[in-house]
Amino acid sequence: MQTTVHHHTPAKLRRAVAEPPSLPLTVLSTALLLAGVGLGLFLVQWWPSDQQPHRPVENRVLPHVIIGAIVTFGMAHVTARRGSAVWMAWPISRGVWRRVNATVRGTFADGLGLLRTPALLLLGLVIGAAVLRIGMQVGLSVDPHRVINAWGGPTAVGAVAAVTVDALCVVAVACGLAHLVLRPDPYPRALRRRAVRTTPG
C-alpha cells in the first residue's frame, strides 16, 4: 500500500516514514537469534549444570536496572524527537543493506575502502555475536540452575532481560561506528522517499 503524506503533514511525521526492512538482513538476524536459542538448548541438554546455592550478589540486579533505565530513557527520547520508533529498525533497513553493498563493492576503489570493509566486517561480527548471545540466553534459561546466579537472575525473565540490555548497548555502539564506516547510500534521497507521495492539500 502506498503511503500518502500531504504537504501540511508535519516534517517530523514525514521523516518517520521508513523503508521496509531488508530481507537479507532480516533473515540473517532472525537466523542468528534462532541459532543462539538452539545453542543454548544444546548446552542445557549436553552439559547440565550443577545445582548451586543462590548468591544474590552475583545477579548484579541494581547495575542492570540502572543501565536498563538509561537505555529506556534514551530510546524514548530519540523516539519522541523523531516522532516514531521506526529508527530502531535501522540496522536491518534497506538503506543499510545498500550501504553495505556499496562499501563491499568499493573495497578496492580507494585506500579508505581497504579500511572500511575489514572494519565493517568486525562490527558486523560484534553485532551478530550480540544477537546470538540473546538467543543463547533464552535457550539456557530453561535450566533454572543456569540462571539462579546469572546476571539478572535468579529468574529466567530477569536473566534474559539483563543480557538483552547489555546486548542493546553493544549493538548501539557498533551501529554508531558502522554508520561512520559505511559508504553513503548510493541512491539519491528523492528515490529513497519514493514511497511517500506528497499531494496538494
Q: Model confidence over 53-63: pLDDT tens digits?
A: 778 777 788 88
Residue 177's pLDDT band, with cuts at 50, 70 and 90, is very high
Sign of the dihedral defined by the CA atoms of residues 139, 145, 149, 152, in that order:
positive
> What local confidence, expressed as pLDDT, does residue 195 receive?
47
User: Rounded to whole angstroms, how far apart are CA atoms 39 and 196?
Assistant: 42
Q: Where are the domains of the chain?
A: 3-192
CA 10 to chain centre: 28
> What local confidence, expressed as pLDDT, does residue 188 receive?
62
Residue predicted with more confidence, 53 or 2: 53
Q: What is the pLDDT of residues 70-98, one digit of tens each?
A: 888 888 888 888 787 778 888 888 889 99
C-alpha cell belonging to residue 80: 519522541
Give the position of cell 516514514: 17
The DSSP 8-state label assigned to residue 146 in this structure reads G
Q: What is the pLDDT of residues 91-136, one digit of tens each?
A: 888 889 999 999 988 888 777 778 889 999 999 999 999 999 999 9
Q: Other CB atoms closer than 10 Å to residue 189's CB: what's the count?
A: 7
